[in-house]
């Protein structure tokens, strides 16, 4: 039933530190700006938060709480980024329905493969609902 799928989608949650950069917006290419993010997957939404350790002194608490990027995974795709997208190892590429692209990267294989699995599963569940 859709109720079960709904529950399942809500059950897929994860958070952790990852390197990320946005690479395009509305189909328009952006300059890469890799940075570490506290990254949260919740209810089919991926949010990237600036690391408060790197926040300028006096930066308000709300700036730390408001995500830098909010990514709706409904209708999105994820793949291992092709070599030409980055010289880094373990790079994932997420494309959203509205034509934004993000790269996620981490040197530890298990960290990146866990993110890959949970995001792929989330996208699949959202597609079924
Ligand atoms: O795709 P690019 O332009 O080679 O990406 C690199 C640049 O963003 C670079 O910064 P500058 O724009 O200041 O040159 C970054 O330092 C690199 O990390 C980017 O490439 P990788 O291969 O690391 O994603």
pLDDT greater than 50 at residue 29: yes
| Cα separations in angstroms, 4 against 31, 62, 74, 120, 125 | 41, 35, 18, 18, 10
pLDDT tens-digit readout, 78-113: 999 999 999 999 999 999 999 999 999 999 999 999
Q: With a 6 A CB cut-off, is 60 part of the ligand 1 pocket?
A: no
pTM, full prediction? 0.86
- ipTM score assigned to the predicted complex: 0.90
What is the residue with the minimal CA distance to atom 7 of ligand 1?
32
Q: With a 6 A CB cut-off, is 51 part of the ligand 1 pocket?
A: no
């Amino acid at each position: 039933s859709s109720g079960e799928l709904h529950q399942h989608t809500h059950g897929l949650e994860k958070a952790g530190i990852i390197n990320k950069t946005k690479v395009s917006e509305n189909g328009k290419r952006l300059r890469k700006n890799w940075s570490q993010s506290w990254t949260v997957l919740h209810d089919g939404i991926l949010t990237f938060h600036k690391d408060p350790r790197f926040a300028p002194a006096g930066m308000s608490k709300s700036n730390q709480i408001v995500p830098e990027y909010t990514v709706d995974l409904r209708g999105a795709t994820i793949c291992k980024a092709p070599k030409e997208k980055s010289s880094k190892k373990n790079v994932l590429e997420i494309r959203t329905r509205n034509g934004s692209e993000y790269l996620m990267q981490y040197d530890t294989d298990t960290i990146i493969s866990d993110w890959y699995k949970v995001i792929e599963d989330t996208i699949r569940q959202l597609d079924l609902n």
